[in-house]
Structure 1
Amino acid sequence: MAISDAGGPVETAPPAEDGYRVTTVELFFDLVFVFTITQLTGVLAHELSPVGLLRVVALFGVLWWIYSGYAWLTNTVAPTTTLRRLLLLVGMAGFLIMALATPRAFDGGGVAWGLGYLVVVLVHGGLYAQVNRQILRVLPVNLVAAALVIGAGLTSGPPTYALWIAAVLVPIAAPYVIRPGGRFSLRAGHIVERNGLLVLITLGESVVAIGIGLSENPLDTRTTVAAVLGLALAAALWWPYFAEDDLRAESALTRMDDARRTGAIMNAYFYAHIPLMLGIVAAAAGVKKAMAHPVEALHTGPAVALGAGVAAYLLGDAAFRRILRIGSPAIRVGAAVLSLAAIPVGALLAGEAELIALVLIIVAALLTERRSTGGPG
């Protein structure tokens, strides 16, 4: 994405709040991107360890930066022409290559992952340059990130991890080094809808983890109860974000001037959504493991992934609320702490017990918010 001297994107014609919404080609694009995210769930479920978590965080960091760049791109460059749609399809192909290479990104698949990322970066820069050539001052930073990933694929051991971490940090540090100057106005409705749809699709894909986890079990009372509990957790995570906060967020952003809106979108929809999205990935990995043997005690890794994933999601959501000033984050922070306290429930009793505890924690938090504010919660 193009960066301003204050860390926001560079200037182009300020769009009016004209009702411009997410197009079907953007939704199509997001479906491919979410496939890449769900591959991260598989990576974490396969290796529920600090090393597995480090790999997922590194992969997600690189992915999230460029996805946010595409969200800002289509907020400015509406994909309404044949050429723009075709270029987005090429970008989707790049994400698909990255998704397919994700399971082996640290073990022989890094070059393919990096080449897919290179395609995504070039398409992003080419589309952005149609309306604002200042993107060409930022494009080299994204190309460096792609080169670092390709370089990581050519190495092994600690250098691989060092190059991946550098690929995450270089673009994020760019706003503090590169000063193209200028700003542009972002459409509040489009940003809110685009990111909301992404969260929704990712939550929906997390339900797939239920089916995968239960695929080798007979469909009896126990597995049915486990499946319903998994769905209940996904619904409990959906509720705090979508009950009314998405509408409040759009209203809050619309009332801001251009400079404040750009900063708020960066903080709320880039930074605060990092723990939120990673939380979904971790929780889905935990659910997948819990479904395999729902009435048995979980190993430490799955129990931690489940509880810590929900906690990270709630902390990201609390930060999102605080940044946009759309509600008190205190109760959700408290619920996040209690979610961590639920980890021993899964480790000592059963996966089903931890799922029940997590659902009850979120429901209790929402009911407490409703009583304290008088709102729908």
Structure 2
Amino acid sequence: MSDGNGGKRVGWVELYFDLVFVFAVGQVAHGMVAEPHWSRVAAALGLFATLWWTWIGFAVLYNRRGDDGSVVDRLFVLAGTLPCALAATQAHHVFEGHPAVFAAAMAGVRLILAAAHRWPARPGLDQRRISWGYAASAVLFGVSAVAPYTWAFWVVALLQEAGFLLLGERERPRRGERWRLFFAPPRDPSLAVDSAHLAERFGLFMILLLGELVITVGTAALERPADDLAYWLALAGGLVLAGALWWVYFTSAAEIYERMLDFSGGNPALAYSLYAGGHLVPAFALLLVAAGVNLSLHESPPQAAAWFTTTGLTMYLAGTRSFAAGSPRWYVGLARIATLAATVCLAFLDQVLQAPAVVAVIAVWAVLCAAATAVIRRRTLARLGDDPMAFLREIADRRRPVADERR
């Protein structure tokens, strides 16, 4: 599909595909709730990253060559839902130390992606390198299903996917030219990404991840009596927190990312920085927040509940660059660090308040952060204008005297 301005729209089959991934990432969040320890969070992050890059593969595939009216493209996406659904049902076995079926499913997904990129899409679009890359990943995931050190194979597979999928052109930047390369259109037009489609694609997926938090809060209502005032406090706090998280991303960040990518002519390296790699941390942070709120709604919440919630909120604020004002002043950076540190430390409130009250306080703090973010980003959007390069040069010029003063 295409919008009125020539940008591609998210296809209906992509939305259907996302439903499978909602189930998969939900299993990751449930894994953290089942055993609320930081070692489980680390394992969940690795599992989420594996699912994330699988989803990225289909998002980039459809962005570069997809046509919602093409039977072949739709069949490839629908075929991908089968092994992805199998992986979703096996996610909890990965936490238990039995990753074989999950790894085999991931290998199957990558065989489909390899075939999809090998299939001729349109004249001038050569994606054989990507096809061979996914074939190599399929082998690595397949071997990991029967070999020890499973995670090592997965890490190698994901790192090489990150290299070939969006960073197709390599050029060593000269000093001071990094941003110029980010905003230069790719020499090979077939490598360009559609900024409107990618922005909408990631925005919709972030909404679905926020839905995990809403579902967590709503499901708990089925298990608590109507006269439990503490629960209703947590319910209101959880929904307010979800709304604040939505506000932080969708009122300005999504527009800033899309505008910068559009200005670059669909530069793949910038797309990687802003979306594929840049959204990994805030996306996982939403699951960590959902797990924390879920635990807070238990009758006997563990101590990790508050820490999961505040750590997830901190990761989300940092990952979405909420307080990045583009100022060279040292005290601005110090204030940003202090705000993030204060966000984490809200978890200490569980020493004096009950879990529902802690959720409510965190929600109020998130609202204040969202308000501050709105002010900062409104100014950033005004300064960004229609020429992000001029904005970045302005920041660089303002930082240079400060660096000279420090010397």
TM-score (normalised: structure 1): 0.82
1:154 to 141, 146, 153: 146
What pairs with 1:329-344 in structure 2 (closer than 5 Å)?
Answer: 334-344=338-348
- My pick for the range that moved more, 80-89 or 145-154, is 145-154
Q: Which residue of 2 aligns with 1:349?
A: 353
Q: Does 1:267 align with 2:273?
A: yes
Contact 1:36–1:102 under 8 Å retained in 2: yes
Q: Which residue of 2 aligns with 1:169?
A: 159
Structure with more relative contact order (C-alpha pairs < 8 Å, separation 6 or more): 1
TM-score (normalised: structure 2): 0.76
Q: Which residue of 2 aligns with 1:127?
A: 116
Structure 1 position 134, deviation (Å): 4.6
Which string of whole-angstrom CA distances, capped at 9 and with x for unpartnered residues, describes residues 328-356 of structure 1? 99876654322201111135422223222
Contact 1:318–1:329 under 8 Å retained in 2: no
2:315 partner letter: A
Contact 2:285–2:315 under 8 Å retained in 1: yes
Unaligned runs of 5+ in 1: 1-15
- My pick for the range that moved more, 241-250 or 128-137, is 128-137
2:217 to 197, 210, 224: 210
Equivalents in 1 of 2:17, 2:351: separation in Å?
38
Unaligned runs of 5+ in 2: 171-186, 327-331, 382-407
Which string of whole-angstrom CA distances, capped at 9 and with x for unpartnered residues, describes residues 69-99 of structure 1? 2111111222322232122111011211111
2:24 to 36, 50, 54: 36
Change in CA separation of 1:319 and 1:364 when aligned onto 2, cut-off 3 Å: closer
Which string of whole-angstrom CA distances, capped at 9 and with x for unpartnered residues, describes residues 95-119 of structure 1? 1111111011243642221222122
Q: In structure 1, the residue corresponding to 2:321 is in which secondary structure?
A: helix
Give the aligned CA root-mean-square deviation in angstroms: 3.2
Change in CA separation of 1:209 and 1:138 when aligned onto 2, cut-off 3 Å: same
Which string of whole-angstrom CA distances, capped at 9 and with x for unpartnered residues, describes residues 224-251 of structure 1? 2221211111111110101133233322
Q: Which residue of 2 aligns with 1:244?
A: 252
Equivalents in 2 of 1:210, 1:198: separation in Å?
19
Equivalents in 1 of 2:165, 2:304: separation in Å?
36
Equivalents in 1 of 2:73, 2:223: separation in Å?
44
What pairs with 1:1-377 in structure 2 (closer than 5 Å)?
Answer: 18-77=6-65, 78-107=67-96, 109-129=98-118, 130-131=120-121, 134-154=126-146, 159-172=149-162, 182=188, 184-220=191-227, 221-258=229-266, 261-293=267-299, 298-318=301-321, 334-370=338-374
Structure 1 position 371, deviation (Å): 5.1
Equivalents in 2 of 1:186, 1:213: separation in Å?
41
Contact 1:315–1:332 under 8 Å retained in 2: no
Q: In structure 1, the residue corresponding to 2:223 is in which secondary structure?
A: coil
Contact 1:145–1:167 under 8 Å retained in 2: yes
2:79 partner letter: V
Percent identity (aligned)? 24
- Larger-Rg structure: 2
Contact 1:272–1:319 under 8 Å retained in 2: no
Contact 1:209–1:287 under 8 Å retained in 2: yes
Contact 1:217–1:292 under 8 Å retained in 2: no
2:370 partner letter: L
